[in-house]
Chain A
Amino acid sequence: MFTHKKSVWLFLLPGGLGLMFFYIVPFIGGVYYSLTDGSYRNAFVGMDNYVAIWKNQMFVLGLKNTMELSLICAPLVWVLSFAIASLLNRLRPRGAFFRNSVLLPYLMPSSAMLLIWLVIFDYGGVVNRLATAMGFARVIWLQGSALRVPVVLLFVWKNLGFAVIIFLAALQAIPEPLYEYARLEGAGFWRQTFGITLPMIVPTAFLIIILEWINAFKIFKEVYFIGGAYPDESVYTLQNYMNNMYGKLNYQNVTTAAYSFALIVFALFGALFLTQRQLLKRLS
């Protein structure tokens, strides 16, 4: 560890300047926009913009959809990736092919995958063929509220792999003697899972749910690929709202929406941090 070195400023300079210039200073400066009315006088209006935006149906719809979609995607990726990592862990030290093929989509541009998605989720596509073969009726996947299914699946397809390898690394880091000792003491599978595996991976599990949640807020991408710039109401996200307001140069609404969302996000993650701390305390 270097102390009292002037050269630290050299290393901090490019990144620090950039962060200041592009994020921190304008972030604070932007508060001004959210508190003024945007007219030529730019009068101070206090919290009026915030009150107005919560009455704006499109903002509320976008926020609701973004929250709902991220609450579907993040836990789905979380649970699936843990299950897959556990399966892979059983094949140790083999199973590299499976691990590598799960990771592949993470590097793939999901934009290019859209074509295949449109084909398989078509009304006459493979998914509906499977559905009718199993005795269900066909579903119109690419319109209306069912649009969420291909959108979520495209997200899961792409993002599963990275979470799997993080989980797998955590599972492999648990020392094997712990299990051997537990078995000597007569602990069964469930006792081992709840007594050793789960407590050991709590920090990792927490990291993954956070990372996936941040990622899932960006689900606008998948919505845009499949639903276009003006998608169905069921997948109209906050980003759609922001783009519309931004297109109209309505900076008051853009900043107000962003800061409202930021408050919600910080409240959520703050609650998650506290939960994790409590959980770790109880487990140890």
Chain B
Amino acid sequence: MSNGNLPEQIVFRIRRFSPGRDKEPVWKEYRVAYEAGMTVLDGLWRIKESIDPTLAWRASCRMGVCGSCGMLINGSAMLGCNTQISELASSVVSVAPLPNFPIVRDLVPDLQLLFDDHAALSPYIIRADSAEQENPTGEYYQTSKEMETYLQFTYCIKCACCMAACPTCATDALYSGPMALTQAHRYNTDTRDDGFEVRKQVLAGEAGPWRCHFAGECSRVCPKGVDPAKAIQFMKRQLVADALGLRKKRPLAPLLKKPEGIQRRPGIAEAPEPTVG
């Protein structure tokens, strides 16, 4: 036993479901020896390797970056790889798939709804100078202060924990949800972007932020500190100002051309060729 408060064994209660085989999900228990530093994802691997190879979940990076292993752990949406069992302060760990999504199998949710909502809000830079974007001749200039207005919202890893925790997503199929709305706000705030009117076609309707009750669960469960609830409130303010004709039109980030007539100092290597484009 490596932690005084934890027993040598952890009981994993896992909700299992296989469409076509099971009529409804069932809970199964597995006992796993606890080791210091063990995450919930480690425990699932231990079960798959030594107890039940049929257990299914989705995971990839094991370091809270890819957003694949979102699951409902002891009733709260979390990343399996990011959750130390010692943090749960319980010898029983219940694991279920993220709610508000159809289940593919066991702990694997079908995130198609999330990706559809995300794509519908054009989560990319939109500008009139599309030729410049296709074949860049320079860089768009943005101050660090301008970048800080949206930087927090760029940390989203699309793990769907916020969508699973959102009470509005649980009842309203038309609501875009905190992830997609946060990303829409992230681009609406970016000074390089001029796509507010394009996204407004979706945001001003029933898929917009209007159904958000500010329960704040999305921000509480977000493993990256993105704070979607804050983004949604900012978005509401921006859209209301727009409806009243009070939205401030900010200048677009200007294009900085590459410097000309500058000689490279001797001994400094050329920058590598762009890998994209």
Q: Do A and B bind each other?
A: no
